[in-house]
Every structure is written in C-alpha cells, then in structure tokens.
C-alpha cells in the first residue's frame, strides 16, 4: 500500500518589520524578507505585487502581509505567497500618516529588453533626481510590465502621460524639470503622447 502526501494550502496573515527586497536576475522583484516574532522569513510576492511595489520602502517599516501558505510534507517545505501587503496599524509602533495630496506616478518598464538597454541606470537616476529635488514624497516610480515598445527601450511614462523611449540617464534631470519642476528644454529623446 502506497501512502501519498498532499500539499496543504491555507491562508495567513502576519506582521513584521521589513528587512529587504529579494531581487532575481539583478532587477526582478520576487519577494520580501521580514523580521517577525518567530524569526526572519521570506514571503514571495504575487505577480500583481511584483510590478506595483514601491522599491523605496524604508527598512524597518512594519508591514501586514495577507496571502496563502503552502506546506509540502514530502519536502517538509513551507512557502508563503503574499496577495496583499499593507502598512501595519499605528498601534504596532508606526505613526499614522497624515492625509496627503495624491502622489504623481512615473511608470517605468522593468522588462528585460528595457533593462538591457540601460533601464537600471535610468531608474537609479530618476530616484537620485527626485531625491535631490525633495520630490520623493510627491512622486512614485512604479515598475511596470512590457510597454510594447521593446526595441526602443528604456521606456517610461511621466505623470502627464508623456511617453519617453530610448531615454538615457543624462536626459533624466531635464525630463524631471520639464514635467515636475522648471520649464527647461530637453535633449531630444523620442516621445509621444499616450
């Protein structure tokens, strides 16, 4: 007689302090490392969270994670997969955020063609320029899936829906000034309104 083991799947809700992101291939966000009462744990992010997560999340932030946990008795392995991630309640040691004006969002393609064409350097320059101008609390950078313009990467879309293709890191300061600050002429990246 053969005994088969079945994989058990249940829901979970846990709270912990954010330690770090788990990145694959140098740029693909896969999950989070959290410090909980039971020790350090890895939580895989569902695909919809991988592309929408704000990578500027400060370490030490209290998070509440809701999702599914899967236990495979054959491998004696427990896997946590997050479906929702939220800031934990104020009574967990976090100060409640005052209501703020809605943040503007810069969309940035994180797919391999854009990243191979210099996308990581462009994203780093966006973060640096927003920080230098004190705009990091007013503007989000949101990684997206393919923008269907792979051969002309890196691609990004500014808050006013202006799309930039073949954008170079040296062009980022002028693009930010044009859309979020001073009205400055920029060095001719290709762009189209979408």
From the candidate CATH numbers 3.20.20.70, 3.30.300.30, 3.40.30.10, 3.40.50.720, the one assigned to the domain spanning 104-193: 3.40.30.10
Q: Where in the chain is the domain with CATH 3.40.30.10?
A: 104-193
The pair of three-digit structure tokens given for residue 54, joined into one six-digit string: 């704000």
**Predicted local confidence at residue 92, as pLDDT:** 44
Instruction: Write down the residue that tokens 């088969």 correspond to.
Output: 4
Helix axes 120-132, 172-180, angle to 10 degrees: 50
For CA atoms 155, 191, 106, 148, the dihedral sign is negative
* H-helix segments, the chain: 47-50, 112-114, 120-132, 172-180
C-alpha–C-alpha distance, residues 119 and 183, integer Å = 25
Which helix (H) or strand (E) covers residue 43, if one does? strand 39-45
Q: Three-state SS for 160? A: coil
**Predicted local confidence at residue 190, as pLDDT:** 47
C-alpha–C-alpha distance, residues 119 and 166, integer Å = 9
Let me know: does 103 contact 139? Beta carbons within 8 Å: yes
Q: Environment class of residue 189 by beta-carbon count within 10 Å: exposed (0-12), middle (13-18) or buried (19+)?
A: middle
**Predicted local confidence at residue 2, as pLDDT:** 53
- Over the chain (194 residues), the average pLDDT of each successive run of 10 is 66 89 84 88 89 82 90 85 80 44 80 85 88 84 84 87 89 88 44 44
Quote the DSSP letter at residue 52: T
- Give every CB contact of residue 114 below 8 A, 6+ residues apart in sequence: 147, 150, 153, 154, 155
**Predicted local confidence at residue 42, as pLDDT:** 92
C-alpha–C-alpha distance, residues 32 and 67, integer Å = 13
CATH code at 9-90? 2.40.50.140
**Predicted local confidence at residue 192, as pLDDT:** 46
Taking the CA of residue 23 as centre, how many other CA atoms within 13 Å lie in the half-sphere pointing to its CB? 10
Q: Where in the chain is the domain with CATH 2.40.50.140?
A: 9-90
């Amino acid at each position: 007689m053969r005994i088969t083991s079945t994989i058990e799947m249940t829901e979970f809700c846990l709270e912990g302090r954010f330690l770090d992101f788990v990145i694959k291939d140098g740029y693909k966000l896969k999950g989070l490392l959290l410090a909980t009462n039971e020790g350090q744990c890895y939580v895989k992010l569902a695909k919809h969270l991988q592309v929408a997560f704000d990578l500027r999340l400060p370490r030490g932030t209290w998070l509440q994670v809701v999702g599914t946990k899967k236990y495979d008795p054959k491998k004696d392995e427990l896997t946590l997969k997050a479906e929702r991630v939220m800031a934990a309640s104020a009574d967990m040691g976090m100060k409640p955020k005052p209501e703020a004006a809605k943040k503007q969002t810069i969309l940035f393609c994180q797919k391999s063609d854009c990243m191979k064409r210099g996308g990581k350097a462009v994203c780093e320059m966006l973060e640096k320029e927003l920080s230098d101008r004190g705009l990091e609390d007013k503007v989000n950078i949101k990684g997206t899936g393919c923008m269907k313009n792979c051969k002309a990467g890196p691609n990004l879309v500014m808050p006013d829906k202006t799309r930039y293709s073949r954008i170079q890191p040296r062009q980022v300061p002028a693009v930010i000034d044009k859309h979020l600050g001073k009205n400055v002429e920029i060095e001719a990246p290709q762009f189209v309104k979408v």
